Chain A
């Protein structure tokens, strides 16, 4: 009887954890790198879109206002990053930090806008990232040394101070990872690495998302805080239940 109870309780816990981990499955969005080989047509189409959607904050010719920084020289990489991750156009009520959301524009419109922003001044182009398994060790080293302090060892995100969050990297594409390193979005510093190192980091970020992670249900992969919670909520509660059941006087002759 007691054993049965302990067993049922364990099963419930297991089922709960299943449900939790199912929710963590990443939604994959992949966008084509934009900005290479732009035409004058694209630039003028981009300018039209720009004037309606962006000029209120970044000013008519991208020189910037009190509501948004100058875009001269930020480059195609910055524009593609901000637009493909849905950060721009910035919503005034979104708080201090531009958050990832579904892109507001179609891939064609994004290419046009990127071409226009790139025409405002020379800046980093959208990088071409070719991930390769052989780059993994280099990628892990670079990631742990440079990115893990903010994004966490498993890229599940972390707080960086000033109210900003380093978001989880579960949705970032390889190109976006490269762009983020080149363009320093928000509170993130720039990491002007070589093309191969960019690809190495992107490879590792992809690895973290897709590789099998042995050991059972991952409880966040962010270390001892969730582990402590589980030790108490699962371990100690189960054992308390067992202790109460074992300690109960089951003798039917007594009440």
Chain B
């Protein structure tokens, strides 16, 4: 059988080199794989959900087993999600695994991205995969946003309404764009079926294709590695793809699926039956989006409600925090490899050995500051919940966050820079021991301290 294939495709020699491909050994290189395996779980559970979900906003009368909704008018979409949650066998656990997997998927991408950023793995020649990676992150966010809205419950309806008003706020094209996307003035009957097409066809196709290219580029370019004995810019030290890496990855996939199933089975998520069906005249509170959109919601909440008039054009207040800010953030992030190369006068130098975060205090400092802006904005999105938990007025929270969003990242930058410098000076591993003092015997018989080489 194998011989048959080999005769026709000449696959054996190709496979042999493939199986012997070297993968460097470090746990941080597995983070991207976790994201990949979350995607596998998402696809599997997603296919199951698609079998039962009805992408239709037509109003029907609910007559399922959830008593408080009996006889109420709900959309067919909401009705099918209720059926999935209460009548379809294993429907609820599939829904919950899917939703937890989505939250963890984006989180894993972010952690993977942080590893890439802080170790300088995006540098020439790997800028290509950085760009593809950012594209994949954007696709993952779009997947999350569209999926979140499919149940057509009150909470996600409130989210869609905010999206609609943000799109509307774009100068000149806003109203046209909003009508194009939503098919009319919010709420529209078409939006659910449109989101569905995006969520189960267009975006997944792009996402899976993108992942394929991401991996192919990795394969062709070979893996980067941390500096160490015997490791140079021109070799890769590690274990072969088969058996070592395959076994490792398989184990990791099973464990990732196990963690997500455990969460889906044990921890309730998005109980749409308590939010109720979407009714255009009602909003729910506290109304938050899933965590990865939180920073945008937080920016909307922190930004003062002012309308700037520039050259006779009024810019509605959601535009700056809702469109301009993420636009700038993603542009800078996308272009970072090129910005950094320019800053560091890199020229055409190639990097296959990774930096430790301390090796580049400026990059590390900027990364920490950007991360803290993100964290602060995300916290601001939960300001009403945080206010409730800590029993402080919402307005105080908002004002505190308005200051914190500038101060905390600035302090973070300074601290990160300082730590990098200190570590470099001492060449201390954060977990290592003090290297001690080097002494030299002087010709006179005494001792003197030797400066450690820098």
Contacts and interface: CB of A to CB of B under 8 A. Distances in A.
Interface stretch (A35-43, A75-83, A109-117, A240-248): A240-248
Contacts of A154: 271, 274
Given A145-B281, A231-B103, A247 B26 contact: yes
Contacts of A227: 103, 269-270, 290-291
B200 interface: no
Given A17-B266, A133-B67, A225-B382, A145 B282 contact: yes
Interface string B370-390: 000000001001101101100
Contacts of B104: 231, 235-236, 239
A222 B268 CA distance: 11
Given A149-B285, A235-B103, A157 B388 contact: yes
B108 A217 contact: no
B265 A225 contact: no
A51 interface: no
Contacts of B394: 159, 161, 163
A98 interface: no
A215 B255 contact: no
B274 A208 contact: yes
Contacts of A243: 27-28, 30-31, 34, 252
Contacts of B71: 137
Contact of B276 (A144, A165, A207): A144
A152 B256 contact: no
Contacts of B68: 136-137, 139-140, 204, 207
B103 A240 contact: no
B155 A153 contact: yes
Contacts of B263: 230, 234-235
B107 interface: yes
A162 interface: yes
A148 B154 CA distance: 11
Contacts of B396: 163
Contact of B27 (A133, A149, A244): A244
Contacts of A228: 103, 290-291, 294, 378
Contact of A239 (B259, B289, B393, B395): B259
A207 B70 CA distance: 14
B416 to A, nearest CB: 20
A219 interface: yes
B385 A225 contact: yes
B70 A145 contact: no
Interface string A175-219: 000000000000000000000000000001001100101111111
A161 B286 CA distance: 12
A123 interface: no
A107 interface: no
B276 A153 contact: yes
The 10 closest A-B pairs by CB, nearest first: A247-B27, A228-B291, A163-B393, A215-B268, A231-B103, A140-B68, A235-B104, A144-B276, A225-B382, A159-B387
22 contacts: A136-B70, A137-B68, A137-B72, A141-B72, A145-B281, A148-B154, A149-B283, A153-B154, A153-B274, A162-B395, A163-B392, A207-B67, A214-B92, A217-B266, A218-B271, A225-B286, A227-B291, A228-B291, A235-B260, A239-B108, A240-B111, A246-B30
Given A149-B283, A224-B288, A234-B267, 9 more contacts: A10-B262, A137-B71, A145-B281, A223-B287, A234-B263, A239-B259, A242-B252, A246-B30, A247-B248
Interface of A: 2-3, 6, 10, 14, 17, 133, 136-137, 139-141, 144-145, 148-150, 152-154, 157-159, 161-163, 165, 204, 207-208, 211, 213-219, 221-228, 230-232, 234-236, 238-240, 242-244, 246-249
